[in-house]
Copies of this chain bind each other. A is one copy, B any other.
Amino acid sequence: MSSPEPSRRLTIGEALREAIAEEMRRDESVFLIGEDIGIEGGFGGAFGVYLGLPEEFGHDRIVNTPISEKVIAGAAVGAAALGMRPIADMQYADFLFECMDELVNQAAKLRYMSGGKISVPLVMRAPVGATNRGAQHGQSPESYFVHVPGLKVVCVSDAYHAKGLLKSAVRDDNPVLFFEHKLLYGSKGREQAGGLDLTAEVPSEEYLVPIGKAVVKRSGSDVTVVATHLALYRALAAAEELGTEHGIECEVIDPLTLLPLDVETVWSSLRRTGRLAIVHEDTLTGGWGAELAARAAEECLFDLEAPIKRIASLDVPMPSAPSLEDAVVPSVERIKTVIRQLRD
């Protein structure tokens, strides 16, 4: 391998595009399937991730489908069962409910039903998050899939991990649900995400990020905070303010994979802090935070010095009005308030 080139700063959208292109070059069996992908003069998928790919890979391997989610998922399952590696696209994660049977009853179970004779190496990408579009275009439904044995569930929040994890997902022999947050793609500039810098350092050399490994985004000794997607950045902002304003030092962890969940990284932090807060944009009741809290209450009960707190979207359908949506999703203020309670 030649001398390492300098890394670049990429958005998540650009990083995902690179990951897809590299995997398609590497492996003939990788192909794309979804709605409004690979259309001349089109959007390159709902968030532009596929722009430029048809020019390199042609239209055979970029399968533009009818508006038929059951076919998108079902075709991915069938092709994967024969050893192809589909990267399927759901325009909004809200539409996954249209192919829930194909994902839960087929993709996740076929291997087991076959006695291990087949595997289903598919990736289903789906954008989550509230963007003033209301109840059917603003959900973060990743938690439903955490309940499905036979699936893996990944949530990415920065370009570096997005690229490395998508490449790992494509190479994984199991069905992987790959969730991305609409406001973090970087395609529409930073203001949308509240002024966040949506780019990250991405090496020029090929690399993989393993599925099932969490990362510590900020170290601290007082409270362990586990958060994903946009909520991760809100948690980091809250952590900074809590540090300066109240001397509360939060250790902030991005699990990156929700199934299987890397509890070891969380426990090693929790054993030091004795306090756990979980933050996600998916709704509270039955959300993935419940599973993490339940495991902590079994595996680390005697390390806990304070109740486990979950900060999530309120248990309501997502409203469209900004004034309502802002009240529903976890805000920096709400995160701060709850974490301060942990220290009282």
Contact = CB atoms under 8 A, between A and B. Distances in A.
B112 A319 contact: yes
A215 B204 CA distance: 61
Task: Quickly give the copy total for this chain.
Answer: 2
A310 interface: yes
Contacts of A150: 316-317
Contacts of A304: 297, 301
A296 interface: yes
A135 interface: yes
Interface string A102-122: 001100110011000000000
A147 B283 contact: yes
A64 to B, nearest CB: 22
Interface in A294-344: 294, 296-299, 301, 304, 306-310, 315-317, 319
A200 B310 CA distance: 40
Interface string A263-305: 0000000000000000000010111111101101111010010
A289 B319 CA distance: 28
Contacts of A288: 286
Nearest to A278: B294
18 contacts: A97-B100, A98-B101, A105-B135, A108-B317, A109-B136, A113-B317, A143-B147, A144-B144, A147-B287, A149-B315, A149-B316, A149-B317, A286-B290, A286-B291, A294-B294, A294-B308, A298-B307, A298-B310
Interface of A: 94-95, 97-98, 100-101, 104-105, 108-109, 112-113, 134-136, 143-144, 146-150, 259, 283, 285-291, 293-294, 296-299, 301, 304, 306-310, 315-317, 319
Given A146-B285, A298-B308, 9 more contacts: A98-B100, A108-B317, A143-B286, A149-B315, A290-B294, A293-B293, A294-B308, A297-B307, A299-B307
